[in-house]
């Protein structure tokens, strides 16, 4: 099983080099084909890892502990981790002197929007982002009602949510106002 995982990992690295070369040569079709191959290889890699985990779990007692970890040698792909590491959840956001406990990254954007409203500012309407009602959002959109009665769309990645929070502050007259998010590990990031 380890050999198959190693071969797939090697194929991914090789194909990535081909994609990078295609991009340098501005060959969009070759780059797209390479990315599709990488996606297929990644899918096979996940399947092989799942099989390895099942095998590992089925081995009883001490033998299970002595079995090598099939994912230990995956390393990185162009400096990026091959597997998503669980990100620590945020626990609080601080804007100026206001500190609010939060449960997830969606709360950070909602908290920034409600802080702006609390400062007496009106948040403008942004298509597919902030609307006066839930109508106008995609049916799959994750929305919440703000303290102003407007609705905000929150179903984005951490990075996008934080960029939207920054955009809100800037567009509502707070371009120099920073906010800090502290995660469960105690790490504080300023935006």
Domain range enclosing 117: 90-190
Where does the pLDDT of residue 130 fall: very low under 50, low under 70, confident under 90, or very high at 90 and above? very high
Give Dmax over CA atoms of the chain in angstroms.
64
Same domain, yes or no, for 53 and 12?
Answer: yes
16 & 108 share domain: no
Given a cut of 90, whether residue 147 has pLDDT beyond it is: yes
Neighbours of 13 (CB within 10 A): 15
Q: Which of 99, 86, 87 is nearest to 181 (CA)?
A: 99
Going by pLDDT thresholds of 50, 70 and 90, the confidence category of residue 23 is confident
Q: What is the pLDDT of residue 8?
A: 67
73 and 97 co-located in one domain: no
Rounded distance, CA 75 to CA 5, Å?
12
Q: Which two tokens stand for residue 27?
A: 């060959």
Q: Which residue has the higher pLDDT, 31 or 93?
A: 93
* Domain endpoint, select from 16, 47, 81: 81
144 token code pair? 């919440």
Domain ends where: 57, 81, 105? 81
Q: Are residues 103 and 35 in the same domain?
A: no
Distance, in Å, from the CA atom of 151 to the CA atom of 131, rounded to the nearest integer, reads: 5
Indicate if 30 and 77 belong to the same structural domain.
yes
Q: Are residues 98 and 153 in the same domain?
A: yes
pLDDT above 50: residue 72: no
- Residue pointed to by tokens 């920054």: 166
**Residues 73 and 98 reside in one and the same domain:** no
Whether residue 103 sits in one domain with residue 185: yes
Phi, psi of 67 (to 5 degrees): -70, 135
Residue 74 has pLDDT above 80, yes or no: no
Domain count, the chain: 2
- Asked if residue 126 and residue 35 are part of one domain, the reply reads no
pTM for the structure as a whole: 0.56
Structural tokens at position 122: 């009106």
> Rounded to whole angstroms, how far apart are CA atoms 134 and 136?
6
In what helix (H) or strand (E) does residue 143 lie, and over which residues does it extend?
A: strand 143-145
Q: Are 94 and 173 contained in the same domain?
A: yes
> What is the mean predicted confidence (pLDDT) over 108-123?
96
Do residues 70 and 94 share a domain? no
| Domain end among 81, 101, 117 | 81
Q: Which residues contact 126 (CB under 8 A, 6 or more apart)?
A: none
Other Cβ atoms less than 10 A from the Cβ of 136: the count is 14
Is 43's pLDDT higher than 80?
Answer: no
Three-state SS for 152?
Answer: strand
Burial of 45: CB neighbours in 10 Å, binned 0-12, 13-18, 19+: buried
Do 148 and 77 reside in the same domain of the chain? no
Integer Cα distance of 105 and 89 in angstroms: 7
């Amino acid at each position: 099983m380890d050999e198959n995982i190693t071969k797939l990992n090697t194929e991914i690295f090789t194909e990535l080099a081909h994609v990078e070369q295609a991009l340098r040569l501005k060959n969009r079709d070759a780059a797209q084909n390479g990315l599709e191959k990488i996606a297929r290889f990644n899918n096979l890699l996940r399947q092989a890892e799942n099989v390895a985990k099942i095998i590992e779990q089925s081995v009883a007692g001490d033998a299970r502990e002595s079995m090598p970890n099939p994912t230990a040698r995956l390393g990185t792909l162009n400096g990026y981790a091959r597997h998503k590491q669980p990100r620590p959840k945020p626990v609080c956001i601080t804007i100026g002197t206001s500190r609010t406990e939060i449960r997830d990254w969606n709360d950070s954007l909602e908290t920034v929007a409600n802080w702006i409203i609390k400062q007496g500012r009106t948040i403008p309407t942004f298509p597919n982002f902030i609307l006066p009602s839930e109508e106008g959002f995609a049916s799959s959109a994750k929305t919440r009602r703000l303290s102003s009665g407007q609705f905000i769309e929150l179903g984005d990645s951490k990075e996008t949510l934080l960029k939207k929070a920054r955009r809100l502050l800037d567009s509502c007259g707070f371009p120099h106002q920073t906010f800090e998010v502290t995660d469960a590990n105690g790490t504080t990031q300023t935006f």
